[in-house]
Amino acid sequence: KERRGDYLGKTVQVIPHVTDEIKDRIREISDESKYDVVITEIGGTTGDIEGLPFLEAIRQFILEVGAQNVVNMHVTLVPYIKAAAELKTKPTQQSVAKLREIGLQPQVLICRSEKSIDRELRQKLSMFCSVSEKAVIEARDVAHTIYEVPLMLHDEGLDELVCDLLQLTTPEPNLTSWKKFVDCVVSPLKRVKIAVVGKYIHLQDAYKSIYESLTHAAASEDCGIELKLVDAESLQDRVGTQLQDVSGVLIPGGFGDRGVEGKIKAARYAREHGIPFLGLCLGMQVATIEFARDVCGIEKANSTEFNPDTPDPVISLLEEQREKIQSKGASMRLGTWPTKIGKGTLAEKIYEATDVMERHRHRYEFNMKYRDRMKEKGFIISGTSPDGTLAELIELRDHPYFIGCQYHPEFQSKPNKPHPLFKGFIQACLGFNPKRATRAGGDPKSLARVPEKELALQR
């Protein structure tokens, strides 16, 4: 905005320019979506320097729209001290006091805790934090899954409390579908084992969106997920040992060349043994490189990300692409973009559509110069940009389920609406028996499948 001259040469300051931008973003969501309520989260810890502009923006926002139109909720920790066998409220008191210094008074306290918060403790928090006793909400650690939290907060009356504070008249919520979803997550009728091959698997939250997307899709099939987290670097010499007992292989996105050869071997193992495969972003790219090398005979096929001087850049940053995406983060393709899906492809069957919108975050693309050569061997580009110049989806003609996408479908999956690619992947995994898998000879019909009734287990 400053470079466009929106501030007329004024010095850009945190107040009012940064705070005004934050408020405008909140209003923009409200105006465009036409929702009755907009939920805005400010992360971090009260008092963090980086969070102060956001808290100040909320203070101003409340003043501008009226306190009756805003509910200020504070999520706080009430720690349990094992040595004393009691819950401590002092951290919450200090946190609320800090918020008051900033100019914000919480109306609701969401109290995270290991143990139940009794009435005496609620009264104490109510008095010291100037919050109604009924607005002190207990949020205990859940037993099985985070998806139990909405049901717990409903039992605490949080939804009714918020509606009362906003003076909204609403019917009783119908939580039947959510309860069914949670039941499928907690007590599935069947289970499937899936390998996630990445280089950040030692970090619990590195692929969090992918893990949750698999959970969403599995729950829709009343299925549980057993994740086998495989370090890509460990696959250099023992890929068969690591993947012989799984019903599906997923390779997520990433950057850099560390672990790439292991991912390529995982893609090859899945292709040759007919194991359902889903490659996301970099996962699609390594599958492409593997197919080019081992099926098409392009021995030096690679990505210019890993080898800028490769003679066969099947994955590269093309000059024409660089020009097209200059306005979307220099050399990176960012945001939501349309994808045109080819008719008669597996992708069309999965999506049940030919035009979809998906979220991107990548620099490198499939080099269309190799399209015809690889197509002859069964490598199908089943989704492209509307103008047909960029490959968005790939699949293999002679494989039961081998899909790769250049985008990130995990960012669009929802608990009661799993993304089609994850749902299709889970369905394929349920139909695969690793004990009967043999190296494919080219005919996908020859691969053994397990009847659904053999997979079902009693609750």
The single residue listed with the structure tokens 């047909």 is 388
What's the pLDDT at 331?
64
The single residue listed with the structure tokens 């069947």 is 190
Beta pairing partners, 197? 230
Beta pairing partners, 226? 193
Nearest of 246, 217, 267, 209 to residue 421 by alpha carbon: 217
Nearest of 260, 293, 296 to residue 279 by alpha carbon: 260
Q: For residue 136, is pLDDT > 80? A: yes
Q: For residue 122, is pLDDT > 90? A: yes
**What are 294-307's pLDDT values in tens digits?**
999 999 999 988 88
Give catalytic status of residue 408 as yes or no: yes
Structure tokens at 447: 């691969």
Quickly state the pLDDT bin for 20 (edges 50, 70, 90).
very high
Strands of the 136-140 sheet, one edge to the other: 73-77, 108-113, 136-140
What's the pLDDT at 434?
74
In the chain, % of residues over pLDDT 70: 92
Q: For residue 447, is pLDDT > 50? A: no
What's the pLDDT at 356?
93
Question: Would you say the pTM of this structure is higher than 0.75?
Answer: yes
Q: What integer is the mean pLDDT of 147-167?
A: 96
What's the pLDDT at 33?
78
- Indicate the range of 161-170, 326-335, 392-401 predicted with least confidence: 326-335
Quickly state the pLDDT bin for 11 (edges 50, 70, 90).
confident
Residues across the chain: 459
Which one is catalytic: 290, 410, 419, 429?
410
**What are 37-50's pLDDT values in tens digits?**
999 999 999 889 99
Quickly state the pLDDT bin for 444 (edges 50, 70, 90).
very low
Which one is catalytic: 360, 362, 408, 419?
408
Q: For residue 9, is pLDDT > 70? A: yes
**What are 70-94's pLDDT values in tens digits?**
999 999 999 999 999 999 999 999 9
Q: What integer is the mean pLDDT of 102-125?
A: 96
Q: What integer is the mean pLDDT of 121-133?
A: 96
Distance CA 359, CA 339 (A): 10
Give catalytic status of residue 216 as yes or no: no
**What are 305-327's pLDDT values in tens digits?**
888 889 999 998 865 555 554 44
What's the pLDDT at 437?
54
Domain boundaries, the chain: 14-177, 188-446
CATH code for the domain defined by 14-177? 3.40.50.300
What's the pLDDT at 373?
93
Quickly state the pLDDT bin for 239 (edges 50, 70, 90).
confident
What's the pLDDT at 457?
31
Q: For residue 439, is pLDDT > 60? A: no
Distance CA 384, CA 372 (A): 15
Which one is catalytic: 281, 296, 405, 429?
281
Quickly state the pLDDT bin for 429 (edges 50, 70, 90).
very high
Give catalytic status of residue 358 as yes or no: no
Q: How many CB atoms lie within 10 A of CB 399?
A: 22
Q: Domain 188-446 has what CATH class?
A: alpha beta
